[in-house]
Amino acid sequence: MKFNIKPKDEKFFELFSVPAEKIYTAAKILRTMSKSSMDENRKNAKQVGKLERGADDDRKHAMETIASTFVTPFDRDDLHQLASEIEDCMDYIDDASELFLVINLQGYPGRVEKMLKIIEQQAELLYDAMKDLNNLDTHSEYWSQTSIYENKADKLRRSMLTTLFEDEKDPIRLLKIKEITEALELIINKFEDIADVVENIALKEM
């Protein structure tokens, strides 16, 4: 039997909007790292790491709250998955920030900048969606736009790697850019994974 009773306490939905806000903040920091100095990026990576630890605590709190709530607004397993996917996304952003710090290239291809912008845009979409998670009937643009961004990023990655392998003379630089690109791709794909979970929840609520 399916229950359509939702908890009256809107704080339940903060279990997802709070870590989503951390992701958005981290994505904005990450976008600056391709143009920042080593000293600046030490601070940037530290900030992102702090956000990641906070998001990990948010996930644990979400799991405990979901487990202890008698009637959850959506399927319990879906909520568990959503909390885990959001935390994974934060992990990937943290990994990418550390990679920028370690690789520390002087200048990245313009397509890397575009991928970073897409990550920030996807993070903003996620945050807006999680702030209004109790109104899923308004979210179709969220998962469709997230998918559009993912497809755009995939084309950017492929065209950039093609150009790099054709034109880049320094094999070490090529490998470093490839590694950064793959780390950014993981983040972008994870945003789509989250959107897929939200879409699945919405379909069940129809």
8 A C-beta contact, residue 45 and residue 100: yes
**Are the C-beta atoms of 176 and 102 separated by less than 8 Å?**
no
pTM score = 0.91
| pLDDT exceeds cutoff 60 at 3 | no
Mean pLDDT of 91-107: 93
> Which residue is it, tokens 């070490």?
172
Question: Is the per-residue pLDDT at 96 higher than 80?
Answer: yes
What whole-number distance in Å separates Cα of residue 13 and Cα of residue 138? 16
pLDDT at site 99: 96
- d(C-alpha 205, C-alpha 83), whole Å: 18
| Domains (range + CATH), the chain | 10-205 (1.20.58.220)
pLDDT beyond 60 at 117: yes
Least confident of 8-12, 49-53, 142-146: 8-12
CB of 73 within 8 A of CB of 134?
yes
Q: Is residue 102 within 8 Å of residue 57, measured between CB atoms?
A: no
Say what the pLDDT of residue 135 is.
81
DSSP string of the chain? -------S-GGGGHHHHHHHHHHHHHHHHHHHTTSS-HHHHHHHHHHHHHHHHHHHHHHHHHHHHHHH-SS-SS-HHHHHHHHHHHHHHHHHHHHHHHHHHHH--S---HHHHHHHHHHHHHHHHHHHHHHTTT-GGG-HHHHHHHHHHHHHHHHHHHHHHHHHHHH---HHHHHHHHHHHHHHHHHHHHHHHHHHHHHHHHHHH-
Residue that has been written with the tokens 């998955």 in this structure:
81
pLDDT value for 175: 87
Lowest mean pLDDT of 24-38, 128-142, 190-204, name the range: 128-142
